[in-house]
Structure 1
Amino acid sequence: MADRPHPTAPLAAVVAPASGTRPKQLYFAGLVLGYTLLVAISALEMVLQPQFLAALGLIAVTTALALTVRWDSRPLAWAALIPVLDIAGVALLRDHMREVSMSPSLLALIPVMWLSGRLRRTGVLISLLAVTLAISVPSLVRGGELDSMILAHALLLPLTVLQIGLLTVGALDLLDRRSERLQEIVAERETVIDEIDASAQLLQSILDTVDVGIVVVDAEGHDLLMNARQRRIHALAIPPDNPDPNEAELLLRYPGTALPIPAEERPVRRAVLQESFSNYLVAMGPLGEDGTAFSASARQILDRNGERAGAVVVFSDVTSYLEMVRSQEQFVASVSHELRTPLTSVIGYLELTQDDLDLSKETAGYLQVAHRNAEQLLVIVEDLLQDQVSRSGAEKLVLRPARLSDIAAHSVESFALRAEEAGIDLISELQPTPEMPLDAARMQQAVDNLLSNAVKYTRRGGTVTVATGMVEGHAELRVTDTGIGMTAQEQTNLFADFYRTETARNSDIPGHGIGLSLTRRIVVSHNGQISVRSQPGIGSTFRIRLAVE
């Protein structure tokens, strides 16, 4: 279907300053015809006078010339012919009706503006000369004796024409300058857009060559950029029966388990929630398969005003690394198991030796130091063994009805004496929680680990608070201390295996970085969540949440 002309196209041609001879002339001829019809209604005899008819005839001839000659293809000087002839026609009308009305003079302003727009200052000069010669000079000649009134009357129209012409030229010059500036701005923007497109293409090409998955999201969580590697990684997490899943439907789970990762704890979601983290392990693929393991890290993006603009999340394939780690863990487990039996024997014989009353005080002191270190070594070996058992899944959960608040109460009772000896105020704020399926022994170990760390990293005179209760349909346990605290970066790695914060490493506080990773696995195996909030020098709060069925 052919394109239809826009309804405003004829009007645009009429007002266009540099073209449109035919539309302009038709518009002018239409005004003259309308004026003629109005005059004919009341004074037909005036319209039928030869001079009036001559004026109409001249305008008709001018219109015919405008319609038949291709004026826009002729030299610019020819553009003055049609409006000058129109001014001559207006002069005939005005002269014929001078005794009745001077209003026909106003019709001359249309070709004047036409000339001023087409030829600018030259057009103003031509208009002034045409109006003066065709209208003002005949008025002076017929006026008889020249006086100031006749002169003022004759010069009024040329001066008006001059003013309108100059205003028209000035307005068009201003529009031209603005148009040129606008074109420069458009050209600059097009150049910038081309450079941005080239940079974006270059960036995409570079990112596609990287062997890690990269996804960039905006402040609302919408994907802005994803490299080829990330698209392949994302495909691993798509369910077979759902080609367009949302974040909660992706097949993401904790490595080595069949437990799906809650939506709010998934890497991209955590990044959208303004978290920065490193080395967050996830497995992708259908349940029942080993899947591929990835280490996810996220950093927040700030704009030039320091406001958050989004986040970037990086996924690295660590499947082969984890397999190597499992081999190392098996080795550690074997060695630890072999160490436990002789260590137990050594401790037993040290205890028997210490019971000898004939020992000198100095020798007894040596034996006491050896006994203490042997027991500490046995504790480390036991922790390593328990950690390996937890990782391998060899020890299954024994779920029986139990209350999280009761488990917390047992921990508080167990650590009361240690806290008192350390000069720490242990506060208990335990609200009853409902019974739920729990492996009480394993959960007791998790809570004990949290309470042990809280007492260990809190200075004398500080406080440790243990609280339980129901929050948003979950049984919750909180352990809050006024200890040394941690930085945001330290919190991101806190649950990693064998990780200890820099402050802990630089202090005399013992530890080997197993407790919290073990605690996390125990909580996750119960389909629970564990989190931490901390500030350096102020303290930390660890929170365990378990869904109540």
Structure 2
Amino acid sequence: MRAHRGDRRPSSGAAMDLRDRVAANNQLLLSAIVGTLFIVGFATQSLRDPELFGLGVLIIVAGAAASLAVPWTRISPVWVAVIPLVDIGAITILRASDPSAGLGLLWAFPMLWLSSLGRWAFLLASVLVTTIYWVVVVISGETERTYAYVLLPMLMVAIGWASYSATRRSSAQRTLLDRQTERLSAALAQANRQEQLVTEVLDTVDFGVIRIDASGTVTFVNDALGGFRQRIPGFGRVDEDIVSYGEDGTTPVLPDERPLARALRGEEFSDVIVWFPLSESKRIALSFTARALLDHLGRSAGSVLVARDVTAERSAMRARDTLVASVSHELRTPLTSILGYLDLALDSDDLTPNVRRQVDTAHRNSERLLAIVADILSASTDSRLSAGVAISPQQIDLADLVRASVSDLSVIADERAIAIDASAVEHVGAYVDAARMRQVVDNIVGNAIKFNRDGGLVTLSTGSAGDAAVIRVADTGIGVRGEERERVFERFFRAESSVPGNGLGLAISREIVGAHGGHVDLESEPGVGSVFTVSVPRDAQAFARAIVVESGELP
């Protein structure tokens, strides 16, 4: 909570204002000096005219009482000059009681006081003190003329000028400080408004936010995080032993590996899933993201940890995977039956060449469809790792495989007047699983047709680069935006498009190529087209080296 800043003006019982303090301090100091002189002079019988001296002291003391009683902050500052003017008269009486005692030096006190009130007061005090001094000298019959008669007025004027100059400098500095204070107050008010706005915004979102300063202390939590704390006792505290599990929902998370502990160590991470049991039958999944913060000098300013409830999202993904797996499993039975009957039909001797060719095409595509269903079953498991593609590589000619894919997909391309240019397809050897690699080529070429514009062009080429055999597929389609480029290989990811699909083709293709020790690269520009480049080992030796490197071992 912010402290309330009220009116700082003192009340009647509080400390006096600056003007009150100056008036009281000056007069009390002068009263103390003349009172001491009177007591000492009276005790030592050294006063020439005790009655006249006592009158002057009485007037000064009366001025001190007035300085304490009068509320100077409530009246015009001009009235403050009354007391030092009265003091000048009282000091004149003191000097007249004993001209040789040097009591005229006491005029320095009202001179200082009056000069601090402004230029007019300085001029008035200078003229008044000088005039009174010379008048008193003449009236008292002091005939000896020495430089002392000039020195004292000059000294009073110099003292007054010093007080006037110091007051002006102090006033200028006070004005500057007031302006700086105003600017700082405005900046502080703006910062407070921004802080309040940020706090209100963070309290309206549905994800939890924890702010950690450079010393590792939690300095801010929003309302959503407070909601998580209510549902998960001890949540957001390192010293609490909370039962939690990793992304798979079964592996316990060690205390040092908890997101908050990692954020306190200054680590950065994204989308770390942790499951928290709420009861025996209910759990909640939170996604954690941590980012380090820097101040305006580039130094560490702590970190921020964001927690988001992804239970519904994870449950939906699991339900989707279960549905896909169930549907794919149900498809395998009729596909197996279709393949069986097609095998029987191919074994028949009374088929005409044309019918046999058609049945053989149906049989070949049914086998491909069965392989795709098997891949969907693998891709729809709970694991985020590779689908565990099984391959049986052998030495083949990529040109034959690419041309066969072009032949089968040309019918689809012709329906939209899309031309397929395979003139740059050259004979190049590759050590791959032919069926799996055909699936990759069909997926990529099929996408090049599917996401192309009517009347567009698909260009295919093959070649080699070192130990790798390369397939390049370029299209003139809609292209892929930068933020979607890295995600097109994720399972079930669909870029913004009206083209139907399940988002598995490229994910399965990358896993198949990865199982060969190769890689798939994408270059794309929205509205211009995309280029997919597939690199696989050229021979058995290259395949062995690629697999060793892929596993992380030394070749």
Please tell me the TM-score bracket, short chain as reference: 0.5 to 0.7
Distance 1:153 1:56 in 2: 27
Equivalent pair of 1:251/1:284 in contact (CA under 8 Å): yes
Residue of structure 2 equivalent to 1:213? 207
CA contact (8 A) 1:55 1:92 kept: yes
The verdict on how the C-alpha distance between 1:69 and 1:34 changes in structure 2, with shifts beyond 3 A counting, is closer
> Could you tell me which residue of structure 2 aligns to residue 135 of structure 1?
133
Deviation at 1:58, TM superposition (A): 1.9
How far apart are the structure 2 equivalents of 1:15 and 1:35?
A: 30
2:277 is matched with which residue?
285
1:416 & 1:105 partners in 2: Cα distance? 121
Deviations 1:472-500 (A, max 9, x none): xxxxxxxxxxxxxx999569968964237
Q: Is the 8 A contact 1:29 1:63 kept in 2?
A: yes
Q: Who is 1:87 aligned against?
A: 88
Question: 1:25 matched to which residue of 2?
Answer: 27
1:246 CA displacement: 1.9
Indicate the residue corresponding to 1:236 in structure 2: 231
Give yes or no for contact 2:209–2:225 (8 Å, CA) kept in 1: yes
How far did 1:328 drift?
A: 4.6
Moved more, 488-497 or 123-132: 488-497
Query: 313, 332, 357: which is aligned to 2:324?
Result: 332
Counterpart AA for 2:64: A
1:184-333 residue pairs with structure 2 within 5 A?
A: 184-185=182-183, 188-189=186-187, 191-192=189-190, 195-196=193-194, 199=197, 202-203=200-201, 207-208=203-204, 212-215=206-209, 217=211, 226-238=221-233, 242=234, 245-246=237-238, 249-254=241-246, 257-261=249-253, 264=257, 266=259, 273-275=267-269, 282-286=274-278, 288-294=280-286, 311=304, 313=306, 315-319=308-312, 323=315, 326-333=318-325
CA distance, structure 1, for counterparts of residue 298 and residue 24 of structure 2: 60
The partner residue of 1:59 within 57, 82, 98 is 57
Residues in 1 aligned to 2:485 and 2:58: alpha-carbon distance in whole angstroms: 91
Cα distance in 1 for partners of 2:487, 2:263 equals 14
Unmatched segments (≥5 aa) in structure 1: 1-11, 393-407, 427-447, 466-485, 519-533
Q: Is the Cα contact below 8 Å between 2:212 and 2:220 reproduced in 1?
A: no
Cα distance in 1 for residues equivalent to 2:217 and 2:93: 73
| 2:70 counterpart SS class | helix
1:164 matched residue in structure 2: 162
Over residues 293-331 of structure 1, what are the superposed CA-to-partner deviations in whole Å (9 max), with x where a residue is unaligned? 456678898999999985573624543x55555555444
Q: Distance in 1 between matches of 2:352 and 2:488?
A: 46
Q: Which residue of 1 aligns with 2:108?
A: 109
CA distance 1:202–1:215, change in 2 (3 Å): closer
Q: Which amino acid aligns with 2:109?
A: I
Flag the 1:166–1:285 CA change in 2: closer, same or farther, 3 A: same
In the alignment, which residue of structure 2 is the partner of 1:343?
Answer: 335
Rounded to whole Å, the distance in 2 between the matches of 1:22 and 1:184 is 30
| Cα distance in 1, alignment partners of residues 159 and 71 from structure 2 | 28
- Distance in 1 (CA, whole Å) between partners of 2:395 and 2:229 is 52
Q: Is the 8 A contact 1:213 1:233 kept in 2?
A: no
Taking a change above 3 Å as real, the CA distance of residues 264 and 171 of structure 1, as seen in their structure-2 partners, is same
Distance in 1, Cα, partners of 2:207 & 2:240: 19
2:375 to 383, 392, 398: 383
Measured in 2, the distance between the counterparts of 1:145 and 1:110 equals 27
User: Structure 1 311/367 Cα, relative in aligned 2: closer, same or farther at 3 Å?
Assistant: farther
* Structure 1 match to 2:530: none
Q: Deviations over 1:397-438 (max 9, x none)?
A: xxxxxxxxxxx9x99x97796999998999xxxxxxxxxxxx
Residue pair 1:284, 1:291 contacting (<8 A) in 2 also: yes
Distance 1:345 1:299, change over 3 A: farther
Question: What is the rounded CA distance, in whole Å, between the counterparts of 1:115 and 1:67 in structure 2?
Answer: 19
Displacement of 1:386: 3.8
Root-mean-square deviation (CA), in Å? 6.2
Instruction: Report the CA distance shift for 1:361/1:501 in structure 2 as closer, same or farther (over 3 A).
Output: farther
CA contact under 8 A between 1:14 and 1:23: conserved in structure 2? no
What stretches of structure 2 of length at least 5 have no aligned partner? 1-13, 400-426, 445-461, 469-479, 513-520, 525-532, 535-548
**Superposition deviation, residue 333 in structure 1:** 2.8
**TM-score where L is the length of structure 1:** 0.56
- Residue 49 of structure 1 aligns to a residue whose secondary structure is coil
Which residue type is aligned with residue 211 of structure 2? Answer: V
Partners of 2:269 and 2:332 in 1: how far apart? Answer: 41
Distance 1:61 1:98, change over 3 A: closer
Q: Distance in 2 between matches of 1:490 and 1:276?
A: 17
Structure 1 position 66, deviation (Å): 1.8
The CA distance in 1 between the partners of 2:92 and 2:551, in whole Å, is: 98
Per the TM alignment, residue 48 of structure 1 is displaced from its structure 2 partner at its CA by 0.8
Aligned CA distance change for structure 1 residues 186 and 543 (closer, same or farther; 3 Å): farther
One-letter identity of the residue aligned with 1:23? N
Change (3 A) 1:276 1:417: farther
CA distance in 2, matches of 1:144, 1:151: 11
Which SS does the other structure have where 2:507 is aligned? coil
Matched positions, count? 438
Residues 196-252 of structure 1, C-alpha deviations (whole Å, 9 max, x = no match): 476357536xx44x5x334253575765654434422343333xxx57732995444
Distance in 1, Cα, partners of 2:523 & 2:136: 99
SS for the counterpart of 2:164 is helix
Q: Is the 8 A contact 1:296 1:315 kept in 2?
A: yes
Q: 1:171 to 1:234 in 2, by over 3 A?
A: same
Q: What secondary structure sits across from 2:125 in the alignment?
A: helix
Q: How far apart, in 1, do the equivalents of 2:463 and 2:280 lie?
A: 50
Query: Alpha-carbon deviation of 1:188?
Result: 3.2
CA 121–377 in structure 1, closer or farther in 2 if over 3 Å, else same: same
- Residue 81 of structure 2: SS of its match in structure 1? helix
| 2:211 partner SS | strand
* Alignment match of 1:153 (pick from 146, 151, 154): 151
Deviation of 1:340 (Å): 1.9
1:313 match: secondary structure = strand
Q: Structure 1 residues 369, 60: CA separation in 2 closer, same or farther (over 3 Å shift)?
A: farther
In 2, are the aligned partners of 1:217 and 1:311 still within 8 Å (CA)? yes
| Residues 13 and 20 in structure 1, CA contact (< 8 A), matched pair in contact too | no
